[in-house]
Amino acid sequence: MPPPREPQRIAKLLARAGIASRREIERMIEERRIAIDGVAVEKPATLLTSLHGVTVDGQPVKAPAPARLFRYHKPAGLLTTERDPKGRPTIYDRLPKDLPRVMPVGRLDLNTEGLLLLTTDGELKRQLELPATGVERSYRARVFGDISQAQLEELINGVEIEGIRYGSIDANLERRTGRNGWVEMRLREGKNREVRRVLEHLGLQVSRLIRTAYGPFPLADMPTGAVDEIRQHDLAAFRKTLGKNPPRHGEGDRAAHGGGGPARDGSRRRPAPRAGTSTPHSARSSNGPSASPKRSGPAGGKPSPRSPSRRGPKN
């Protein structure tokens, strides 16, 4: 890969090379772990045109390899962090040992399960996380309490909770039995604990929360703990949409089949079947042998996270 033509901050170049996130690299610079030709870097704003002569912990930094993106079905009970001072289990304790060094795209809190994207590229991570990029996240929440579809539809205009403004949320009451129900939510910001806070603001108790998609990449029927890689041409096609009003999850399929999402006149359409635009080329489970995810339905007859009948740990 040719070096950048214009000087760039060393933190950005190192993130692009997959060393760490920009924030972590800034901490590494403070700890004097990063050097250029043997001289410790003192400022994160240091400008470079390449990583030639740059070392981290005394080791030369290799030129950036093409970005890679993985799907991971995170179980509840794991922290989305590399280390925990309290010694609680993290995703890195469960990821397959043969994975390259990866960074999580965003976070899922301790009791949230579902799709977590992992990447080798710090700049791709940042692009996917930025609210300005507008990548849609989809969730399903098992809730207890009284709620109507009309109340959920008011979230399309956003909501302010304790001085924090949350942007537009497309929410749909999928199923309800008595005071128990499942709510599907789609949003583009992903503020800290946004889904839980919004639902609790509506008077609902959340007993289970699952992220079902990030951009065009679905959780589908991946086994819990499984990891697979997004194909390079699917990743390249997706990156071209970043910052250009990227499609909602499965939007292309909905257009073809005439379903899904709010209609332009404000009326609600019935949700279309879930579909993904990406077919990963491999799947690896940290809990067992390799498995190939199937798009047509749950593997082995087990319910997918889409199914409200599947029981799981309470949040």
Quick one: average pLDDT of 75-86?
93
Distance from C-alpha of 240 to C-alpha of 235, rounded to nearest angstrom: 9
Helix (H, G, I), strand (E, B) or coil at 138: strand
For the segment 241-293, what is each residue's pLDDT rounded down to a tens digit? 886 655 455 443 333 333 333 333 333 433 433 333 444 444 454 443 333 33
pLDDT number for residue 133 = 87
Q: Is the pLDDT of residue 14 over 50?
A: yes
Asked if residue 295 lies in contact with residue 276, where contact means CB atoms within 8 angstroms, the answer is yes
For the segment 170-200, what is each residue's pLDDT rounded down to a tens digit? 999 998 888 999 999 999 987 889 999 999 9
pLDDT number for residue 12 = 84
Residue that wins the pLDDT comparison between 8 and 78: 78
First to last CA, the chain: 45
Catalytic pick among 37, 109, 121, 253 = 109
Distance from C-alpha of 155 to C-alpha of 235, rounded to nearest angstrom: 31
Q: All domains of the chain, ordered by start, with CATH? A: 8-60 (3.10.290.10), 69-133+215-260+272-301 (3.30.70.580), 137-213 (3.30.2350.10)
Asked if residue 146 lies in contact with residue 123, where contact means CB atoms within 8 angstroms, the answer is no
Overall pTM surpassing 0.85 (yes/no): no
Q: Is 221 a catalytic residue?
A: no
Asked if residue 188 lies in contact with residue 168, where contact means CB atoms within 8 angstroms, the answer is yes
How would DSSP label each residue in 228-272? EE--HHHHHHHHTTTTS-PPPTTHHHHHHHT--SB-TTSPBPPPP
Contact residues for 188 (Cβ-Cβ < 8 A; gap 6+): 131, 134, 135, 136, 137, 167, 168
Q: Is the pLDDT of residue 221 over 70?
A: yes
Cβ neighbours around 55 below 10 Å, total? 17
For the segment 15-51, what is each residue's pLDDT rounded down to a tens digit? 878 788 888 899 999 999 999 999 999 988 899 988 8
